[in-house]
């Protein structure tokens, strides 16, 4: 998956535009998937993956328990993974 | 340390990816991943999601996402304050805590009930307790620690309004002694029969009861100390009842003429004209 979404330098000069196009399309799908998440899950995944907060920090910030953070994070990742694994339309 | 199975590894794979596992579990998962391709692939998917979120977004989106995160941190307390329904829903978000909370609440209620029960038992005043005895000893002249009457006290007297005439005992001669405490309020407490002497036949219980009733209902002016303060005193009453049989003399008219040759009067052991009438008309009580 990482190889699929990650831009890696290749010797082929045509690869860079293709990757940029793929990246743009994935970004669009990602935004849609993120927006489709419930607020609870969206806030947890953003705080974890974008802001880099730990579980304890997220729990403290949102006022929920550690178990709640873990379960919301699992559900959010599962939803995003399903969206990103779907073949691009 | 036994090798971890794939199932066990998958359960903590997310926490491993986020670096939230303890060191020993982190090492165990790492060891498992080094020799398990499916779990390594799953871990790569997790990493791909994060990487896509961070790297796949353009900078404006990333900034926007970070802004969203910060906005969440700022606005969420306000949202929490405003939405009580959300608060209630959050209470039941993790049922483990709900059950634990219910158990703790039940235990607390039991403890509170036990504490209240103990307080109720301990607050009930026990007359024979050490505390009650110390309090009574510290207050001589109180109803619990009455004084012995002596010359320094003004003795209690029955008030005229509350005086009740004691009933007659059912024996002609009787002697009854009883003790009681005349309280500071002038009432009678701890009435106790000390002695009864009525010859071979004792005074009936009904007569004693009537006597005690009369005494109990009598109101006294309490004994007073030199300062004038009312004090409780121990008193002993002695009731002696004696019936005195007397003779009643009745004057009978006699002829004035005295026969000649006869002595004018003949002393006899019995005076003429006097008639005895047995009567038990007087009863002396002390």
DSSP string, A39-73: HHHHHHHIIIIIS---HHHHHHHHT--HHHHHHHH
* Count of other CB atoms within 10 angstroms of residue B155: 15
B-chain CB neighbours of A62 within 8 Å are 72, 76
Q: How confident is the model at residue A69 (pLDDT cuts 50, 70, 90)?
A: very high
Average pLDDT value over all residues in chain B: 76
User: What pLDDT score was predicted for residue B113?
Assistant: 96
Residue B224: strand pairing partners: B154, B230
- d(CA B174, CA B194) in angstroms, rounded, equals 13
**Residue among A23, A44, A49 with most chain B CBs within 10 A, to mutate:** A49
Indicate yes or no: CB of B49 within 8 angstroms of CB of A64.
no
Indicate yes or no: CB of A54 within 8 angstroms of CB of B20.
yes
> What would the mean pLDDT of B234-242 be, rounded to a whole number?
83
- d(CA B231, CA B145) in angstroms, rounded, equals 9
Upper half-sphere CA count for residue B162 (Cβ side, 13 Å):
17
Beta carbons of A46 and B69 less than 8 angstroms apart: yes
B-chain CB neighbours of A43 within 8 Å are 69, 72, 76
User: What pLDDT score was predicted for residue B108?
Assistant: 96
Q: Which of the listed ranges A60-69, B82-91, B101-110, B241-250 does the model predict with the highest average pLDDT?
A: B101-110
Nearest to A77 among B14, B80, B97 (CB): B14
- d(CA B5, CA B33) in angstroms, rounded, equals 10
Indicate yes or no: CB of B90 within 8 angstroms of CB of A64.
yes
Indicate yes or no: CB of A51 within 8 angstroms of CB of B66.
yes
Q: What does each C-alpha distance from B162 to B80, B143, B165, B239 come to in angstroms?
A: 74, 20, 10, 19
By C-alpha distance, the chain B residue nearest A42 is B69
B-chain CB neighbours of A65 within 8 Å are 93-94, 97
pLDDT at A9 over 60: no
Instruction: Report chain B residues touching chain A, CB-CB < 8 A.
Output: 14-15, 18, 20, 44-58, 61-62, 65-66, 68-70, 72-73, 76-77, 80, 90, 93-94, 96-97
Nearest to B57 among A2, A27, A70 (CB): A27
**Choice among B52-66, B154-168, B224-238 with the minimum mean pLDDT:** B52-66
Indicate yes or no: CB of A43 within 8 angstroms of CB of B57.
no
Beta carbons of B234 and B146 less than 8 angstroms apart: yes
Query: What is the total residue count of chain A?
Result: 89
B-chain CB neighbours of A81 within 8 Å are 45, 49
**Helix pair A15-36, A66-85: axis angle to 10 deg:** 130
Tell me if chain B has a CB within 8 Å of the CB of A38. Answer: no
B119 exposure class (CB count in 10 Å sphere: 0-12, 13-18, 19+):
exposed
Sign of the C-alpha dihedral computed for residues B21, A41, A57 and B83 taken in this order: negative
A-chain CB neighbours of B96 within 8 Å are 67
What does the block give as tokens for B42? 């799953």
Tell me, letter by letter, the H, E, C secondary structure of B58-121.
CHHHHHHHHHHHHHHHHHHHHHHHHCHHHHHHHHCCCHHHHHHHHHHHHHHHHHHHHHHHHHHH
Query: What is the total residue count of chain B?
Result: 286
At which residue do the structure tokens 């939405």 appear? B83
At which residue do the structure tokens 């796949």 appear? B56
Beta carbons of B72 and A47 less than 8 angstroms apart: yes
B-chain CB neighbours of A24 within 8 Å are 58
Q: Do strands B278-285 and B188-197 pair parallel, antiparallel, or not at all (unpaired)?
A: unpaired
- d(CA B109, CA B105) in angstroms, rounded, equals 6
Q: How many beta-carbon pairs below 8 A join chains A and B?
A: 100
Q: How confident is the model at residue B57 (pLDDT cuts 50, 70, 90)?
A: low
Residues above pLDDT 70, as percent of chain B: 69
User: What pLDDT score was predicted for residue B187?
Assistant: 87
Indicate yes or no: CB of B55 within 8 angstroms of CB of A6.
yes
Indicate yes or no: CB of A1 within 8 angstroms of CB of B48.
yes
Note the helical H segments in B124-243. 130-137, 205-217
User: What pLDDT score was predicted for residue A4?
Assistant: 45
Beta carbons of B242 and B173 less than 8 angstroms apart: yes
A49: distance to nearest CA of chain B, Å? Answer: 6
Kindly report, residue by residue over B204-225, the tens digit of the pLDDT.
777 788 888 888 888 888 888 8
- d(CA A23, CA B52) in angstroms, rounded, equals 9
CA A83 vs. chain centroid, Å, equals 10
By C-alpha distance, the chain B residue nearest A76 is B49
* Count of other CB atoms within 10 angstroms of residue B54: 13
User: What pLDDT score was predicted for residue B115?
Assistant: 95
Q: What does each C-alpha distance from A40 to A87, B62, B86, B111, B211 come to in angstroms?
A: 27, 19, 11, 38, 88
Indicate yes or no: CB of B76 within 8 angstroms of CB of A51.
no
Residue B223: strand pairing partners: B231
| 0.80 surpassed by pTM | no
- d(CA B250, CA B273) in angstroms, rounded, equals 7
Kindly report, residue by residue over B73-128, the tens digit of the pLDDT.
656 666 666 667 767 777 777 778 888 889 999 999 999 999 999 988 877 777 77
């Amino acid at each position: 998956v990482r190889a699929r979404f990650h831009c890696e330098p290749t010797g082929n000069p045509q690869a860079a535009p293709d990757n940029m196009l793929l990246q743009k399309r994935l970004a669009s799908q990602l935004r849609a998937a993120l927006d489709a998440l419930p607020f609870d899950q969206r806030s947890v995944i953003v705080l974890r993956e974008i802001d880099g907060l730990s579980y304890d920090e997220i729990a403290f910030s949102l006022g929920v328990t550690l178990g709640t953070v873990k379960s919301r994070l699992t559900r959010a990742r599962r939803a995003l993974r399903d969206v990103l694994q779907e073949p691009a339309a | 340390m036994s090798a971890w199975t794939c199932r066990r590894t998958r359960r903590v794979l997310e926490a491993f990816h986020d670096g939230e596992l303890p060191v020993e579990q982190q090492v165990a998962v790492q060891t498992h991943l080094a020799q398990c391709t499916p779990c390594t692939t799953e871990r790569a998917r997790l990493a791909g999601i994060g990487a896509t979120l961070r790297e796949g977004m353009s900078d404006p989106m990333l900034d926007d996402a970070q802004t969203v995160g910060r906005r969440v941190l700022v606005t969420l307390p306000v949202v929490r304050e405003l939405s009580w329904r959300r608060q209630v829903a959050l209470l039941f978000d993790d049922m483990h805590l709900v059950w634990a909370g219910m158990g703790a609440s039940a235990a607390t209620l039991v403890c509170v009930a036990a504490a209240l029960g103990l307080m109720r038992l301990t607050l009930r005043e026990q007359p024979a307790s050490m505390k009650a005895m110390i309090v009574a000893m510290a207050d001589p002249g109180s109803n619990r620690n009455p004084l012995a009457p002596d010359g320094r006290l003004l003795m209690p007297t029955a008030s005229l309004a509350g005086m009740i005439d004691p009933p007659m005992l059912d024996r002609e001669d009787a002697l009854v002694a009883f003790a009681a405490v005349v309280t500071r309020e002038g009432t009678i407490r701890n009435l106790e029969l000390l002695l009864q002497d009525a010859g071979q036949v004792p005074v009936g219980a009904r007569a004693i009861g009537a006597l005690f009733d009369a005494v109990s209902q009598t109101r006294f002016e309490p004994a007073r100390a030199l300062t004038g303060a009312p004090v409780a005193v121990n008193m002993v009453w002695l009731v002696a009842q004696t019936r005195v049989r007397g003779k009643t003399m009745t004057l009978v008219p006699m002829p004035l003429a005295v026969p000649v040759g006869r002595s004018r009067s003949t002393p006899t052991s019995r005076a003429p004209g006097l008639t005895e009438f047995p009567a038990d008309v007087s009863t002396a009580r002390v």
